[in-house]
Structure 1
Amino acid sequence: MPIQFRCAVCSKNFKVDEKHVGRKTICKGCGTMFLVPQPGEPTSIVIPSEVDLKPLVPTLPAEPPKRVIDRDGRLFAAISSHVEKHIGSITRIFRDYVSEKNQVDILWVKPTPVVPFHTLVTCGMAEAPMPVPPEAEDRAYAEMLLCLPQNWPIDDGALANEAIYWPLRWMKHIARLPQEKKTYIAKSHVLPNGVPTRPFHTSTPMSAWMFIPPPFESAELKRTAVGERTVHFIGMQALHMNELRFFYQHGYAETLRRLQAEFPARTLHSMRRPSFLTPG
C-alpha cells in the first residue's frame, strides 16, 4: 500500500510503498537523508554513516589512449563567447586529446582585479543531454565551473604534479559522469570521494563536492543558448568530511549559507581552508 509524506527540509512530496517504512532514503530535492516514516508521522532526519556516503563512482577512471575526435564547433564557440563576455578573456584552453568519447576541454580565465581567482569552465559536457527526470527537462544540458585561489599554479610544469592537477581531473570526471553512468548533475547534489570517504589528495582535507550556482553576481552567467539547447553552468564547491555530514543533516541551503557567511570568496575557493565547523 503506498504512503505519502514530505521531506522535513524542503517539503518535497514523496509517494512510496509501505514496505519501505523505516528505511534510509535521500531527498532528491535537497539531498537530506531521512527515514521513511510511518503513515501520518513526520520524517526523521539522520546523520549518515560512512557506508551511506556512496559516491556516483568510487574512484577515478584511468585515462584512455590518446585520440583526437570531432567536436561540436557551435558548442565550443558559444561557451567560449559566454565565458569571455561574463568572466574574462580566456587565458588558455586545456584540450582533451585523450578521450575516445565524452571529450571535455577546460577553459581557463586567469585572475583579474575584478575576478581575483582562477576560473575554470568545462566545454564538452553539453554535447549530449543528461538523463534528467521529467521535472528537470529544462536542465538537461550543463557545463561545470570551478574557481581556484589566485596562488594556485596553473602551467604545464605545475599541472604535471597531481597535487596541483587533481581539481582539473575531477572536473573532467564529473563532466563525463552523466553519459558514462546514466546519471545527472544538478545544483544541491553532492559527490563524496569513495567509501569510506577520503580526501581527494594528500595535499588537501577536502573529500566531497557540492554543486552550487556559479559564484558570480551576473545572473546571465548561469546559462547560455546553443542553438535549441539551453546550457546551464554548475559550480563546484569542495567540502570537508564534517561539512558533508552537516549537509546531510541540515540540507543544501543551510550548508551553502554557512559557507558563504563564514568565508570570503578568496578563502572559500581554497582547497586548504578550514571547515566552517572548526572552532575558532
Structure 2
Amino acid sequence: MNGRPVDLVFQMNEGGMSKLSTDWLEQLRGWLQSGQWLERAHPNERAACLDTVLVGLDYHMGLLYKLTEEDAYFQIFLNPDGTEQEGAFWSSEESREPELYTEEEMSVVEQHIKNTFGEFENVFHELVSPDIHVDICVVPPSEERDYYTLVTMGMGAHRMNVPEELAEYKLERAELAIALPPDWKLDEGSMKDERWYWPFRLLKVLARLPISSDTWLGFGHTMGKQSPFAENTALCGALLVGPQDIVWNGGEVCTLPGGEEVNFYQVIPLYQEELEYKLEHDADTLIEQMAEVSFVVHPDRPNSIVGEPRTD
C-alpha cells in the first residue's frame, strides 16, 4: 500500500474465498489503494503503521497496527461497510495468549464434529481471540438432515470452573451447536443483518460466558438476555440440551488424546416466559413442556408457555 508492505489475510479456506462478493472485494481494493488505513495513532497518541488486514468470511475486518518505535501491536475492528466498530479494540500490551487446543486435539475435535453432525467445508474464523479462539463450523443441509448446523470449535480449549462434587463427570470442557432452517440466509448481505447473524453471536456469547463469569455450562443450563436477539423475533434466552438428531451414538462426548472429554450441547433459543418457567420449576420440567418444539430455530415459533408465537 503506497509503497509499504502490508499483509492481507483472508481467514477462510479456498471454498470460502470463492464465495466472497466481487463487488465487495472491489470496494476492499479501493479502501486499500486509498491509503486511508496506513497510519493511526494508538489511544495514548503513540504513532503506528498498518501491518496486517484481516478479512473474515462474514466480511468483518481487523486492522492490525504496529507501533513505530516499539515491538507492540494493537487492532481495531471494522464492519463490512468499512465503518469502525465502536469500543472494539485489542492491544498486545494488555492481552495474554488465548487458550487453544493443541494441534492434535483440534484434529480430533474437528473429526468428531464431522462424524457427529456431518461433513462441512465452511468455517467462520474468528478475527480476534483475547481468551479463546472460537471458530464456527457450518454443516450444510443434507437429504437426511434438512437444516444447517452451526458448531463451535475452540470453546472446549478452556476448562470451566465445575463444582468439585461434579468432577467425576468430566464436564470441564464443552462445545455448542445450534440448528437453522435450510432457507436461513448466510450470504454476504445477510451476515451484516442481525436478523440472520444472531445465532452466530449467541454461540460466541455462550462460549465466552464461562470465562467472563468464572462459571460453567452444562445440560439444562439457561441464559437470558435483556432484549430479543433481533427485531424479527421475541426469542431472548437459551437452554442447553443434548445434541439432537446426531449421526452416531456417543456423539455427545469427544475424547481428547490425553483422555479429557469435550461435551457437546444443543442450544435451544427461548422466550422470556420459558426462561421464567424454568426458574420457577426446573430444566427437566421445561424440556417436558417444550416436547413439541423443534430443535431447529424458528424465530416466530409458538411459545410453549403461552401457546402463541411472539414477534414483538
Same fold (TM over 0.5): yes
How many correspondences in the alignment? 214
CA distance 1:135–1:271, shift in 2 (3 Å): farther
Deviation at 1:244, TM superposition (A): 1.4
Q: Does 2:143 match 1:89?
A: no
CA displacement, residues 87-118 of structure 1 (integer Å, 9 cap, x when unaligned): 21113111112223311111110111111111
Which one of 213, 224, 228 corresponds to residue 181 of structure 1? Answer: 213
Q: Describe how 1:62-81 pairs up with structure 2 within 5 A.
A: 63-65=88-90, 71-72=100-101, 73-81=103-111
The answer for the alignment partner of 1:172 in structure 2 is 204
AA aligned opposite 2:278: F
Any unmatched runs of 5+ in structure 2? 1-85
Alpha-carbon offset, residue 277 of structure 1? 2.5
The TM-score with structure 2 as length reference comes to 0.63
Contact 1:95–1:104 (CA<8 Å) still a contact in 2? yes
| CA distance 1:155–1:84, shift in 2 (3 Å) | same
The answer for the alignment partner of 2:303 in structure 1 is 275
Q: Which residue of 2 aligns with 1:48?
A: none
The amino acid that maps onto 1:246 is Y
Paired-residue identity, %: 24
Q: Distance in 2 between matches of 1:76 and 1:172?
A: 18
The alignment status of 1:255 with 2:255, answered yes or no, reads no
**Alpha-carbon distance change, 235 to 144 in structure 1, aligned in 2, over 3 angstroms:** same
Q: Tell me by how many angstroms 1:120 deviates.
A: 0.8
In the TM superposition, what are the counterparts of 1:34-45 in structure 2 within 5 Å? none
Distance 1:227 1:92 in 2: 25
Instruction: Indicate the SS of the match to 1:156.
Output: coil
- Tell me the alpha carbon deviations over residues 190-222 of structure 1, each in whole angstroms, 9 at most, x when there is no partner: 10103xxx2122121101111111112543110
Contact 1:75 1:124 survives alignment (8 Å): no
CA contact (8 A) 2:161 2:210 kept: yes
Matching residue of 1:14: none
1:125 to 155, 170, 173: 155
Match of 2:268 in 1: 237
Moved more, 86-95 or 66-75: 66-75
What's the CA shift for 1:255? 1.1
Distance apart, 1:243 and its partner CA = 1.3
Runs of 4 or more above 3 Å deviation: 61-71
CA pair 277-231 structure 1, distance change in 2 beyond 3 A: same
Question: What SS is found at the alignment partner of 2:250?
Answer: helix
- 8 A contact 1:87–1:115 mirrored in 2: no
- Gaps (5+ residues) in structure 1? 1-60
Structure with the larger RCO, 1 or 2 (CA within 8 Å, 6+ apart):
1
| Corresponding residue for residue 156 of structure 1 | 188
- Say which one has the larger Rg: 2
Deviation string, structure 1 residues 138-176 (Cα, Å, up to 9, x no partner): 110111111112221123331121221111011011111
Q: How does 1:2-13 map to 2 (within 5 A)?
A: none
TM alignment of 1:196-235, pairs within 5 A: 198-217=227-246, 218-228=248-258, 229-235=260-266
> Partner letter of residue 83 of structure 1?
I
Residue 35 of structure 1: aligned partner = none
Q: Distance in 2 between matches of 1:273 and 1:66?
A: 42
- Aligned partner of residue 151 in structure 2, secondary structure: strand
RMSD of the TM alignment (CA)?
A: 2.3
Go from structure 1 to structure 2 and tell me whether the alpha carbon gap of 1:276 and 1:226 turns closer, same or farther (over 3 Å shift).
same
Mapped pair 1:144 → 2:173: no
Cα distance in structure 2, aligned partners of 1:113 and 1:174: 30
Structure 2 counterpart SS, 1:107: strand
Residues 206 and 70 (structure 1), Cα distance of their counterparts in 2 relative to 1, 3 Å cut = closer
Q: Residues of 2 paired with 1:63 and 1:101: CA distance?
A: 15
Query: Following TM superposition, by how much is the alpha carbon of 1:63 offset from its aligned partner in structure 2, in angstroms?
Result: 4.7
Equivalent residue, structure 1, for 2:277: 246
Is the Cα–Cα contact under 8 Å of residues 103 and 124 in structure 1 kept in the other structure? yes
Distance 1:62 1:231, change over 3 A: farther
- Which secondary structure does the structure 2 equivalent of 1:224 belong to? strand
